[in-house]
Structure 1
Amino acid sequence: MSRSKSITTVAGVAVAAAVLGLVSYTATRPDPRGSGAGTSAAAEPTVGVFPELESYARRDASDGLALGRADAPVVLIEYADFKCGYCGQFARGTEQLLVAMYVEQGILRIEWRNFPIFGEESEAAARASWAAGQQGRFWEFHRAAYAEGTKEKGFGKERLAALAQQAGVPDLAKFAADTESAAAREAVAADQEQGYSLGATSTPSFLVNGRPIAGAQPLDTFTEAIEAAARAAKAKGTKAAGPSASGTPAPSPTGSAAR
């Protein structure tokens, strides 16, 4: 890459980071009515597209923390925390609809990034989700961890083991070892570093082909962004994935990965 192109790319990412930080705050600012709770909907939750940020999609067909075809025209990157209530709302509602509407059609790929911001238990749950992914059960663990009422029970070691068992992780001893491994810590740290580099300050935060979205916004916010990205990809000559494309298959609308 030439020096001038490198400088332009860095500048573009810096601008996007500043904007994402602003909308991330706006999307979770204190309720002006005085309830003290954040709001998952913001007046301006999305901003423009930053092509430089499309490269943040890994498109790794072996990525156990991704869902959908590696060559799908649209990639939604989700930065989230298992102790985040709005992340749970998104996982139980909007995300499942997006899977049925776009992932199963080969249009969308969802790539998860662990972005624990609520302390030690958030970090432990993030590492545990990565460990479940090493045995092909990340999305089942994701569903169990985001089930209604789960986060209120905490994410201590015994609870994480129970969630792994519920998720069908076959080797629980390996799961426990992987959860505490240096590799798990490094993977979570890499995800965090990427999120912070984008200016994310709250969860959930998203990128849709370089377009930042902050907060668990209504379904229409995501469908508009995904369809706009798909049209742009088609205009550039990118086609939706065909039957032979590689990548993690989409789960059923209930969240279980197809096997």
Structure 2
Amino acid sequence: MSNSPAPKPVHPLARKLRLARILNVVLGAVTAFLLVVVIAQSVPNAGQAAAGGATQTPAAGEAGAGENTSGSGTGSELAKRDPNDPLAIGDVDAPIVLVEWADFRCPFCAVVTNQTLPTIFDEYVEQGLVRYEFRDVAFFGDESVDAAVAARAAGEQGRFPEYLEAVFAAAPEKGHPDMPREKLIGFAAEAGVPDLAKFEQDLDRADLRDAVLASTAEAQKLGVTSVPFFVAGDQAIAGAQPIENFRALLDEQLAAAGE
């Protein structure tokens, strides 16, 4: 009688993400200041300076550029805590939710995913202290939309963390990588998406594309114009910041939550 395969860990991303080479890129002080001013309108006490983030202007045919309007929600209200969210990882009842906005063609998003998220998962998500919720945005053209659709399709088959890993592990040090259809399918195979035929069909689903565009428009209404961008509780942090900055953010919010 053969032994059944061991179950997959609840949070495979923390153990599987590969490190990328460090990018020592820091945005100028003026850009950082302007970003903080914009986000401060929608998230109270968003005092973290932007560093190592990619700014954008949406491509034609995507969600409009929109105004940097003031949002009414705090960070805690931005968290969905949907137990069926395929783009979320961690205990739905964790004291803190870390929300990330990212574009799959953003090199700085790759840095955070490869270099910083594994530590966050090990120290906070795996311990039941933090839930991670991913918000896709398409800031760099139609291929950003295509990649986000692919990630959602992989998520519907339970392979979002692995797909996130595959995409960003292959990211270049700079620039926005091409995301042709065959490449997206290759990432799915690497991520272990069980039904590749269904995955390929899902790449053409209008509802998934509409969901990506809606997520992008929502981010823009909140004033998120640079990725990666994070919110935890009532604080925000922008860019590929050092792990120490994320620890400070999460520890502060956990303390505020009585943890």
Normalised by the size of structure 1, how large is the TM-score?
0.71
Root mean square deviation, CA, Å: 2.7
Taking a change above 3 Å as real, the CA distance of residues 105 and 29 of structure 1, as seen in their structure-2 partners, is: closer
Which residue pairs with 1:154 in the alignment? 178
- Map 1:115-126; keep pairs closer than 5 Å: 115-126=137-148
- 1:16 is displaced (CA, Å) by 2.4
- Map 1:1-259; keep pairs closer than 5 Å: 15-16=41-42, 28=53, 52-149=74-171, 154-234=178-258
* Equivalent residues of 1:20, 1:199 under 8 A apart: no
* Equivalent residues of 2:47, 2:237 under 8 A apart: no
* Equivalent residues of 1:17, 1:197 under 8 A apart: no
Taking a change above 3 Å as real, the CA distance of residues 51 and 149 of structure 1, as seen in their structure-2 partners, is: closer
> Which shows bigger deviation, 205-214 or 149-158?
149-158
Which digits, 9 at most, give the CA deviation of each residue in 1:38-85, with x for residues without a partner? xxxxxxxxxxxx972311100011111101000100111000011111
Between structures 1 and 2, the one with greater helix share: 1
Report the Cα distance in structure 2 between the residues aligned to 1:139 and 1:51, rounded to whole angstroms.
Answer: 27
Which residue pairs with 2:68 in the alignment? none
User: How many positions carry a matched residue from both structures?
Assistant: 203
Report the Cα distance in structure 1 between the residues aligned to 2:47 and 2:251, rounded to whole angstroms.
Answer: 24
- 1:148 is displaced (CA, Å) by 4.0
The percentage of counterpart residues that share the same residue type is 39
* Equivalent residues of 1:116, 1:123 under 8 A apart: yes
- 1:202 is displaced (CA, Å) by 1.2
Amino acid at match of 1:56: L
Taking a change above 3 Å as real, the CA distance of residues 170 and 198 of structure 1, as seen in their structure-2 partners, is: same
Taking a change above 3 Å as real, the CA distance of residues 27 and 89 of structure 1, as seen in their structure-2 partners, is: closer
Q: Secondary structure at the match of 2:236?
A: strand
Report the Cα distance in structure 2 between the residues aligned to 1:141 and 1:219, rounded to whole angstroms.
Answer: 23
Report the Cα distance in structure 1 between the residues aligned to 2:237 and 2:145, rounded to whole angstroms.
Answer: 23
Q: Secondary structure at the match of 2:216?
A: helix
* Equivalent residues of 1:129, 1:138 under 8 A apart: yes
* Equivalent residues of 2:48, 2:238 under 8 A apart: no
- 1:194 is displaced (CA, Å) by 2.3
Any gaps of 5 or more consecutive residues in structure 1? 1-12, 31-49, 240-259
Report the Cα distance in structure 1 between the residues aligned to 2:158 and 2:53, rounded to whole angstroms.
Answer: 33
- 1:20 is displaced (CA, Å) by 6.3
Taking a change above 3 Å as real, the CA distance of residues 153 and 207 of structure 1, as seen in their structure-2 partners, is: closer
Any gaps of 5 or more consecutive residues in structure 2? 1-38, 56-71
Normalised by the size of structure 2, how large is the TM-score?
0.71
Taking a change above 3 Å as real, the CA distance of residues 112 and 29 of structure 1, as seen in their structure-2 partners, is: closer
